[in-house]
Chains A and B, each alone.
Chain A
Amino acid sequence: MQDNLHHFSILSLNMPDEERLHQSVLACGSALDLKFIFSNTMQAKILFLSKNSAFAHLMLNRAKSDGTLSLVFVNTVTEQEKSNGSLFQDWPCISTEIASSELSLILKKHVKRQNTKSEQKSAEPQYSFSTLAELTENLHELITQGIQHLSITNGERTIFLNLDKNIFFLDSNRHYDFDQSNDSINKLLAHFKLGGSINTLSENTFDLPKKYQSYMAHRLLWLLAEQMTENLINDLDQNNTFGISHWPDFGSLKTEPNYLRLCASLIQTPLTLSEIKSKLNISKTKIIAFLNSSMLCQHLIYGVNLNTNPKNTIATLSREEILNCRRSLNIEDNK
């Protein structure tokens, strides 16, 4: 359940005398003109937690790392635990005998803080998407506007993108098996195929905890756009010419050999879609995938007359010699 300014979901885990506690909280809600709802959802923003609960450390780690929990009450913490730097020390302590006025005060303070945060948050534009194609289109629009700092989230998983440094961040605790391979990235993207939202962020958001690992952002963008079966360019017509401004780092991208051929041709001379097909004999699907990826990664130039300066080299091989060279080197040639 989503929290709004007057509406807070609460999860209570293994607290002693929970019923009495719930009654106190509900009474506080009435006094403060706020609605507190007890639920079983992990999306709850307020947590009452017994330090003896099997979930205690797990929940508190989650709260500390991604801020999904905005307030945690823990039942009595000893002085020794505090001085030992216990995980519980950062959160308010509570007992079932807590005075209603004290509880009200804590909750009120928390609500005020949350409202301020919500107001600040609402100032940051959010773009929702319901498919990976929509995610790609929205990202393209934002990147084209020069926005470099973004997050993609579906509530459960979040990717932080810092495009001016060509990196993205993932919570390594949550993505412990992420190895930056294309398979891994595609699995990560699959989590967003049912939707989520993109948020624009300020640069200082990237002061992330150490457990956030960084990876190459262009690889993520390339694989995302590659999955689109339609053109990312809406106004594509047959007479559009496409060129490439500079080579992507295919050493890191680990893509297929035909992209090298496409890139080499389009960096040399801008071509229309039909010219690319006839010159290189590559399927339209592959060409569209390449154009989409190049576009999202900001390598593609289109719809303008490009001045080119064809390079002349001395060594010459015929198309057949090149083809046979590739076959001899076992380079896949999936058209």
Chain B
Amino acid sequence: MNDKSEKYKIIFAGDVAAGKTTAIASVSDIPPVQTEVKASDAEAIGKTYTTVAFDYGEIFLPYLKNRLRLYGLPGQTRFSFMWEILSENVLGTILLADHSKHDSIEKTRTFIKNFAPIIHKSGSVGVLGVTKSDLVQSGYSIQNYQNMLAEEQLYIPVFQIDVREKNDVILLIDTLLSQIEAIHC
């Protein structure tokens, strides 16, 4: 691994079951490397398998003769030691929030509170994708998430997306690129 390939790196972060593994699988040009194991606390976290180290995928960048490296961070705080390691030298951070449960907003708030220092330290641009939401039925409000982020001094875009859709995940990546362009170009 050389400096050149390290340059294009994005992380996906979010609470357990926010859709990080699925998002990476939707866009990766290689079969994603996953470190999912059977969860010992499946009932508590709401899914049978959970990521313990990280997910990894790549998108080929033929016009740059390079690869965009995609890292999915483990959602559980007990694996948070991985967060800082994987957040070094990233182009940007894609946060994901699962909006399908009644306590979704509170769970996301807790995660963001824990994760915000990592984003501030890395100084990377970011975007929040709200997943598994049905706009009207669930009472989804972009404002709720914007306020939650603002409490942590994070002023990043919030988009409703479907992580199973490649175009939606590409939209999040393009949002990071647009912000970098706006800041540096």
Binding site for B on A (CB under 8 A): 166-167, 214-216, 246-247, 249-252, 257, 260-261, 263-265, 267-269, 279, 310-319, 321-322, 324-331
Contacts and interface: CB of A to CB of B under 8 A. Distances in A.
A325 B184 CA distance: 15
A265 to B, nearest CB: 4
Interface in B138-165: 141-142, 146, 156-161
B177 interface: yes
Given A268-B183, A313-B183, 8 more contacts: A251-B171, A260-B178, A264-B179, A317-B177, A319-B181, A322-B177, A329-B174, A331-B174
Contact of A326 (B7, B91, B146, B177): B177
Given A317-B184, A322-B180, A325-B64, A250 B171 contact: yes
B181 A311 contact: no
B85 interface: no
Interface of B: 7-8, 59-64, 68, 89-92, 122-125, 129-130, 135-136, 141-142, 146, 156-161, 168, 170-171, 173-175, 177-185
Contacts of A246: 146
A264 B175 CA distance: 8
B160 A252 contact: yes
Contact of B174 (A166, A260, A269, A312): A260
Nearest to B181: A322
Contacts of B122: 314
Given A249-B159, A251-B130, A251-B159, A328 B64 contact: yes
Contact of A329 (B124, B146, B159, B173): B173
17 contacts: A247-B157, A251-B129, A251-B130, A251-B161, A252-B135, A252-B160, A263-B157, A263-B178, A269-B182, A316-B184, A317-B180, A317-B181, A317-B184, A318-B184, A321-B64, A324-B64, A328-B64
Given A249-B159, A265-B182, A316-B180, A328 B135 contact: no
Nearest to B185: A319
B170 A329 contact: yes
